[in-house]
């Protein structure tokens, strides 16, 4: 077969983890049991259930995992609904990796890192956080601020509690929108929490979450003295091809699939406000 | 220069058709579009503008990309790409030829689109110079010379002859194939026709459109221009401009369930459509103004910004002729393109 | 025409200045004389670009669905045929009568540049109307046409010169109804053998590029979400998947507007491939007339329609079939 990026590879789901009431994490390998392809943190892949459709998802597992890939997927549309109904052993198709990754080997190296996520926004960050854990000596302090609607909506809560919170030089701050029985942690929205925490503005920050959270959190960070050129985020728009040809995921002259999904805040400032 | 008597053209088409497919402007139910040639079809080289551009020879309005077969849980992908037989695309005008260059930069950019590439490589393109440009033509604005298009071979047509000249090896091979029909001659006739056409081209009403403001550095300023509201006011949100445009290349990928598995196909799509950017959790372009702006910003600013200043409009004027409500890129250029338009 | 245009501008100006209406829907100048475009005028200054001439073929009524949702009254200039469409939109509650001020305008039949081009004219620089004579200047010379020769298809069979709804009128001359019988072409199709008719439609519909211009311009196609755009419908499609699909699209559309189509002819006017789509609708109109009694959609803004009411004399579906056999 002549290689064609639009023709996917076949993947088998080997594990499904129900993270929250509407988020499941799918573990996928090739039909030969091996990992489908290599990627870098922040890159995406097109996952499809033939007959239903194909959608772009962030690869949530770290590239350092050489055995499989994981996708944390929120149920919110036609394709994700069908994906959520699948069982272990089901076949899907996967193609990628697509897009520009987080600059883990460039800008991030040697820096103190701040990760701020809201809800399913943790998905793309999980890949980079675990990458940083794997190459721990290459990076400085890591601060994670993660918020969700409720305790049950915190994606990967187990991993956060058992692994991230115990990692050397890691600070993890969790918050939920409203008080809840069994929760003795912080309550409140992410942007406000970020300001309360009085974070060190010399950190390199990565934001991921709903647009409204990004907007207010960014404002908060700027107030704290963060430099926009050291704040990164990811964008999400409708995609079909994943390689900058089908023409629908552009913001100005940039295609999110190809030139993103990772953008530096200063880059976004130069683009029209249409995302 | 070589020439072929007009009355021999049908025999010439038949000759080409013996060894290669031949796509040529054909009149069907009153309209002229590129079609595969067959004995008895009404070829119309004289038609200045086919309704659809020849882009669908490389980028068809629908094409099957792959097939999925399931057996139990197992899934198999069937490659449906077949070997593309060589074919000749005959009668391509200068604007449409330039449009192929615009498409190439999208589909042949890494990662190469093998569906497009296979057709592109299988084609010998014979262009046809224009001799009767019309009021909606403005290819000259994009530096295109309608009187001497390139391609593998160039041809010129007058009342008596089709004149032809090879430009590439593929073109030479085609001329070798049809050598029984050609004779030397035509330099003077072609030159005279070119001069006459050049004079008309200069007089065309849109010959002097000013594009100077469409530069990457003006991207945000143009995006924010208040005139988009008025320019797009009457837009029906149909895809006519998109589908008759020789450079529009947006596509959708869809699955189609058949009794024998799932077919994944792609089809033309239009940024003018409301569901173009629709996602489960929202839409980045909710108004027709935003969609309209996207189309023209893409052609005049975004695409050039990514492709060394090459515009994604070739001035064919099809949208000028075909928009149901007479909106078009000329109005956009005149409104936003630069001072000289005033 | 110029005298009517001036009167229309005068009225639009007065209506805007007095605040009686918040906006006026009409046409504004294009690049040439023959390419005016629909426009909404909200200020007197904007009226500088107002135009009304023989190329204002567009039916403006559908714009009211969107435009009239804005606060204040909307005035609209309507030709007789367009007034049927607006009435139908009133009937279907897509547009509210109280929000609209209708100015009925004269129409002597609109012209088609496409037709002129098909008759060999190109590089048109100017069109002058000299009563029945149309003088077209181009870079290749001058051509004269009679108005009848270059009438828009829909105007050849003009069904009525009587406005069905109006608040005032600007009519200076008597208007001529169409010279050609509206059902002549339908009868020709009916006279064909099944095979001939199938071939005719297959040839025509195979040109379709699914641009949706016919649907988007159609005042009867006013669904909030078209079934063909709805992924949940199972038949959502963009480009045609196969020959069957383009037939399916047009036939379903014709069925969907049956009994509601006023025969405004916009579908055929806007089709970039010159498909005579109006013939599908007109066949329905003819059959409805035959089966349930003469009915013209858009004649009234109220009341039942043949396909939304029942009486015992109504033809059975089998009669429809028999009708074909005759």
pLDDT tens-digit series, residues A170-200: 999 999 999 999 888 899 999 889 888 888 9
Two structure tokens written together for A236: 């999400």
What is the domain count for chain A?
2
Helix, strand, coil percentages in chain C from 3-state DSSP, rounded to 5:
40, 15, 45
Cβ distance of C211 and B240 shorter than 8 Å: yes
Q: Which residues of C touch B31 (CB under 8 A)?
A: 207, 273-274
What pLDDT was estimated at residue C240?
Answer: 63
Report the percentage of chain C scoring pLDDT > 90.
Answer: 74
Give the minimum alpha-carbon distance from B258 to chain A in angstroms, rounded to a whole number: 9
- What does the pLDDT average to over B270-281? 88
What pLDDT was estimated at residue C235?
Answer: 73
For residue B28, list its beta bridge partners. B31
Whether residue A151 is found in the same domain as residue A219: yes
What pLDDT was estimated at residue B340?
Answer: 82
Residue A107 lies in a domain: no
Q: What average pLDDT does the structure give for chain A?
A: 92
pLDDT at position B75 over 50: yes
Cβ distance of C239 and B267 shorter than 8 Å: yes
Among all residues of chain C, which has the CA nearest to that of B206? C31
Residue A125 lies in a domain: yes
Whether residue A48 is found in the same domain as residue A157: no
Note the pLDDT tens digit of each residue in A225-234. 999 999 999 9
A168 contact partners, CB below 8 Å, separation of at least 6:
A136
Note the pLDDT tens digit of each residue in A41-67. 999 999 999 999 999 999 999 999 999
What pLDDT was estimated at residue C322?
Answer: 62
Whether omega for the bond prior to residue A97 falls within 30 degrees of 0, making it cis, is yes
Q: Which residues of B touch C273 (CB under 8 A)?
A: 31, 33, 51
Q: Which residues of B touch A1 (CB under 8 A)?
A: 79
Domain end, chosen from A73, A98, A123, is at A98
What C189-195 contacts at long range (C-beta under 8 Å, 24+ apart), as own/partner pairs, is C189/C279, C189/C283, C190/C283, C190/C324
The complex's ipTM works out to: 0.92
Residue of B133, B238, B289 best to disrupt the C interface, most CBs of C under 10 A: B238
Whether residue A84 is found in the same domain as residue A117: no
The SS3 assignment for A193 reads helix
| Residue A59, domain CATH | 2.40.30.10
Whether residue A125 is found in the same domain as residue A219: yes
Cβ distance of C240 and B234 shorter than 8 Å: no
Whether residue A138 is found in the same domain as residue A85: no
| Measured CA distances, B252 to B217, B286, C124 (Å) | 30, 19, 37
Residue of A32, A50, A273 best to disrupt the B interface, most CBs of B under 10 A: A50
Question: Subunits touching A (CB < 8 Å, at least 3 pairs)?
Answer: B
**Half-sphere exposure at residue C247, Cβ-oriented, CA atoms within 13 angstroms:** 10
Residue A155 lies in a domain: yes
In what helix (H) or strand (E) does residue C249 lie, and over which residues does it extend? helix C243-257
Cβ of C265 under 8 Å from any chain B Cβ?
no
Give the confidence band of B274 by pLDDT, cuts at 50, 70, 90.
Answer: confident
Whether residue A94 is found in the same domain as residue A152: no
pLDDT at position A39 over 60: yes
pLDDT at position B283 over 90: no
Cβ distance of B109 and A270 shorter than 8 Å: no
What pLDDT was estimated at residue A198?
Answer: 82
- What does the pLDDT average to over C283-307? 90
Whether residue A218 is found in the same domain as residue A153: yes
Domain end, chosen from A69, A98, A127, is at A98
pLDDT at position C51 over 50: yes
Whether residue A176 is found in the same domain as residue A229: yes
What pLDDT was estimated at residue C326?
Answer: 38
pLDDT at position C323 over 60: no
Two structure tokens written together for B208: 């002097």
pLDDT at position C324 over 60: no
Q: Which of B66, B266, B302 is nearest residue A253 as measured by Cβ atoms?
A: B302
Q: Which of C122, C207, C229 is nearest residue B29 as measured by Cβ atoms?
A: C207
- Residue tagged 């547009």 (tokens): C95
Cβ of A54 under 8 Å from any chain B Cβ?
yes
Note the pLDDT tens digit of each residue in B310-340. 999 999 999 999 999 999 999 999 999 988 8
DSSP at A165: G
Note the pLDDT tens digit of each residue in C201-243. 989 998 999 999 999 999 999 998 888 888 777 777 676 656 6
Cβ distance of B242 and C211 shorter than 8 Å: yes
Q: Which residues of B touch C267 (CB under 8 A)?
A: none
Give the minimum alpha-carbon distance from B128 to chain A in angstroms, rounded to a whole number: 29
**Half-sphere exposure at residue C64, Cβ-oriented, CA atoms within 13 angstroms:** 34
Cβ of A245 under 8 Å from any chain B Cβ?
yes
Among all residues of chain A, which has the CA nearest to that of B260? A51
For residue A191, list its beta bridge partners. none
Among all residues of chain C, which has the CA nearest to that of B28? C203
Give the confidence band of C244 by pLDDT, cuts at 50, 70, 90.
Answer: low
Cβ distance of A247 and B250 shorter than 8 Å: yes
CB A45 within 8 A of CB A123: no
Q: Which residues of C touch B55 (CB under 8 A)?
A: none
Question: What number of C-beta contacts closer than 8 Å exist between A and B?
Answer: 122
| Residue A170, domain CATH | 3.40.50.80
**Half-sphere exposure at residue C55, Cβ-oriented, CA atoms within 13 angstroms:** 25
pLDDT at position C81 over 90: yes
Q: Which of A4, A77, A274 is nearest residue B114 as measured by Cβ atoms?
A: A4
Note the pLDDT tens digit of each residue in B1-57. 999 999 999 999 999 999 999 999 999 999 999 999 999 999 999 999 999 999 999
Note the pLDDT tens digit of each residue in C150-181. 999 999 999 999 999 999 999 999 998 878 89
Q: Which residues of C touch B207 (CB under 8 A)?
A: none
Burial pattern B27-51, b for ≥16 Cβ within 10 A else e, equals ebbebbbbbebeeeeebbeebbbbb
Cβ distance of C203 and B28 shorter than 8 Å: yes
Domain end, chosen from A98, A129, A150, is at A98
Residue A158 lies in a domain: yes
Between residues 142 and 201 of chain C, which touch chain B (CB distance below 8 Å)?
none
In what helix (H) or strand (E) does residue B318 lie, and over which residues does it extend? helix B318-322
What pLDDT was estimated at residue A68?
Answer: 96
C278 contact partners, CB below 8 Å, separation of at least 6:
C153, C154, C263, C265, C267, C268
DSSP at B302: I
Cβ distance of B223 and A252 shorter than 8 Å: yes
Whether residue A212 is found in the same domain as residue A117: yes
Question: Subunits touching B (CB < 8 Å, at least 3 pairs)?
Answer: A, C
Q: Which of A5, A244, A252 is nearest residue B219 as measured by Cβ atoms?
A: A252
Report the relative pairing of strands C124-130 and A113-118 from DSSP bridges.
unpaired
The SS3 assignment for A94 reads strand
> Phi then psi for A52, rounded to 5 degrees?
-110, -50
Helices within chain B (DSSP H only): 9-19, 94-107, 114-122, 169-177, 187-203, 219-223, 227-232, 240-244, 288-297, 303-306, 318-322, 329-336
Cβ of A21 under 8 Å from any chain B Cβ?
no
Give the confidence band of C255 by pLDDT, cuts at 50, 70, 90.
Answer: very high
Angle of helix B94-107 relative to helix B114-122, nearest 10 degrees? 140
Distance CA C293, CA C115 (A): 35
Note the pLDDT tens digit of each residue in C261-289. 999 999 999 999 999 999 999 999 999 99
CB B208 within 8 A of CB B333: no
Strands (E), C89-237: 100-105, 124-130, 133-138, 141-146, 168-170
What is the residue range of A90's domain?
9-98
What pLDDT was estimated at residue C325?
Answer: 42
C234 contact partners, CB below 8 Å, separation of at least 6:
none
What pLDDT was estimated at residue C245?
Answer: 67
Whether residue A171 is found in the same domain as residue A227: yes
Q: What average pLDDT does the structure give for chain C?
A: 91
Q: Which of A51, A244, A253 is nearest residue B216 as measured by Cβ atoms?
A: A253
Whether residue A86 is found in the same domain as residue A166: no
What pLDDT was estimated at residue C76?
Answer: 98
Whether residue A131 is found in the same domain as residue A167: yes
What size, in residues, is chain C? 326
């Amino acid at each position: 077969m002549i290689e064609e990026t639009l023709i996917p590879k076949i993947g088998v789901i080997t594990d499904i983890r129900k993270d929250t009431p509407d988020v499941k994490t799918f573990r996928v390998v090739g039909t030969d049991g091996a990992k489908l392809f290599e990627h870098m943190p922040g890159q995406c892949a097109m996952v499809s259930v033939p007959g239903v459709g194909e959608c772009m998802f962030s690869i949530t597992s770290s590239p350092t995992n050489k055995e499989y890939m994981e996708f944390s997927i929120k149920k919110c549309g036609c394709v994700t609904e069908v994906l959520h109904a699948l069982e272990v052993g089901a076949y899907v198709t996967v193609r990628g990796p697509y897009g520009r990754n987080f600059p883990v080997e460039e800008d991030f190296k040697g820096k103190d890192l701040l990760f701020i996520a809201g809800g399913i926004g943790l998905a793309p960050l999980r890949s980079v956080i675990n990458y940083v854990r794997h190459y721990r000596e290459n990076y400085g302090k890591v601060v994670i601020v993660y918020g969700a609607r409720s305790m049950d909506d915190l994606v990967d809560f187990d991993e956060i509690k058992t692994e991230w919170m115990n990692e050397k030089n890691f600070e993890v701050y969790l918050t939920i929108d409203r008080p809840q029985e069994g929760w003795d942690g912080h309550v409140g929205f992410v942007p406000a929490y970020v300001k309360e925490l009085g974070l060190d503005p010399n950190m390199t920050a990565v934001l991921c979450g709903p647009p409204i959270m990004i907007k207010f959190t960014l404002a908060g960070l700027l107030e704290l003295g963060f430099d926009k050129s050291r704040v990164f985020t990811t964008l999400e728009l409708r995609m079909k091809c994943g390689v900058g040809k089908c023409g629908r995921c552009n913001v100005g002259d940039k295609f999110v699939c190809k030139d993103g999904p990772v953008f530096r805040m200063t880059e976004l400032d130069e683009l029209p406000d249409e995302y | 220069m070589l020439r072929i008597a007009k009355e021999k053209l049908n025999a010439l088409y038949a000759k080409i058709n013996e060894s290669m497919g031949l796509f040529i402007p054909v009149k069907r139910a009153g309209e002229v579009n590129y079609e595969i040639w067959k004995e008895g079809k009404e070829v119309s080289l004289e038609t200045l503008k086919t309704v659809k551009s020849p882009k669908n020879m490389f980028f068809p309005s629908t094409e099957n990309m792959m097939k999925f077969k399931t057996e139990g849980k197992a899934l198999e992908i069937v490659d449906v790409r077949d070997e593309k037989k060589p074919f000749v695309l005959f009668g391509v005008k200068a604007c449409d030829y330039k449009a192929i260059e615009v498409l190439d930069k999208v589909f042949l950019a890494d990662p190469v689109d093998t569906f497009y590439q296979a057709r592109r490589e299988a084609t010998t393109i014979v262009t046809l110079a224009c001799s009767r440009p019309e009021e909606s033509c403005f290819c000259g604005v994009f530096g295109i010379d309608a009187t001497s298009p390139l391609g593998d071979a160039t041809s010129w047509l007058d009342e008596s002859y089709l004149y032809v000249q090879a430009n590439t090896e593929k073109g030479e091979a085609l001329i070798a194939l049809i050598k029984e029909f050609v004779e030397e001659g035509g330099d003077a006739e072609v030159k005279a026709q070119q001069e006459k056409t050049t004079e008309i081209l200069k007089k065309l009403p849109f010959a002097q459109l000013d594009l100077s403001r469409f530069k990457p550095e003006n991207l945000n300023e143009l995006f924010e221009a208040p005139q988009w509201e008025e320019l797009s006011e009457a837009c029906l949100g149909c895809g006519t401009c998109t589908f008759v445009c020789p450079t529009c290349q947006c596509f959708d990928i869809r699955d189609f369930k058949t009794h024998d598995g799932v077919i994944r196909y792609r089809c033309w799509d239009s940024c003018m459509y409301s569901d173009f950017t629709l996602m489960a959790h929202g839409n980045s372009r909710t108004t027709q103004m935003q969609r309209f702006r996207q189309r023209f910003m893409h052609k005049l600013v975004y695409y050039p910004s990514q492709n060394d200043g090459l515009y994604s409009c070739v001035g064919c004027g099809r949208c000028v002729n075909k928009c149901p409500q007479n909106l078009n890129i000329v109005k956009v250029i005149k409104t936003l393109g630069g001072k000289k338009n005033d | 025409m110029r005298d009517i245009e001036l009167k229309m501008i005068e009225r639009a100006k007065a209506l805007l200045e007095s605040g009686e209406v918040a906006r006026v829907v009409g046409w504004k100048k294009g690049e040439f004389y023959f390419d005016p475009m629909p426009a909404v005028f909200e200020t007197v200054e904007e009226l500088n670009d107002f135009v009304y001439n023989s190329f204002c073929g567009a039916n403006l009524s559908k714009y009211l669905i969107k435009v009239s949702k804005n606060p204040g009254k909307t005035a609209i200039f309507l030709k007789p045929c367009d007034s049927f469409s607006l009435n139908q939109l009133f009937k279907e509650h897509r547009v509210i009568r109280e929000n609209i001020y209708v100015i009925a305008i004269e129409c002597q039949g609109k012209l088609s540049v496409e037709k002129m081009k098909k008759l060999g004219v190109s590089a048109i620089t100017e069109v002058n109307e000299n009563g029945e004579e149309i003088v077209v200047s181009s870079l290749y010379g001058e051509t004269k046409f009679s108005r009848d020769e270059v009438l828009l298809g829909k105007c050849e069979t003009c069904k009525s010169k009587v406005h069905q709804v109006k608040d005032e009128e600007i009519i200076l001359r008597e208007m001529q109804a169409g010279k050609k019988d509206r059902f002549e072409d339908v009868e020709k199709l009916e006279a064909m053998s099944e095979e001939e008719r199938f071939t005719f439609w297959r040839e025509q519909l195979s040109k379709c590029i699914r641009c949706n211009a016919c649907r988007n311009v159609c005042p009867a196609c006013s669904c909030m979400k078209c079934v063909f755009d709805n992924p949940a419908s199972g038949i959502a499609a963009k480009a045609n998947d196969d020959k069957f699909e383009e037939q399916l699209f047009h036939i379903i559309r014709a069925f969907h507007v049956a009994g509601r189509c006023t025969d405004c002819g916009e579908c055929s006017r806007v089709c970039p491939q010159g498909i005579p789509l109006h013939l599908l609708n007109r066949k329905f109109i003819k059959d409805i007339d035959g089966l349930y009694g003469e009915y013209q959609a858009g004649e009234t803004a109220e009341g039942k329609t043949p396909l939304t009411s029942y009486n015992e004399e109504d033809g059975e579906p089998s009669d429809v079939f028999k009708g074909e056999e005759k």
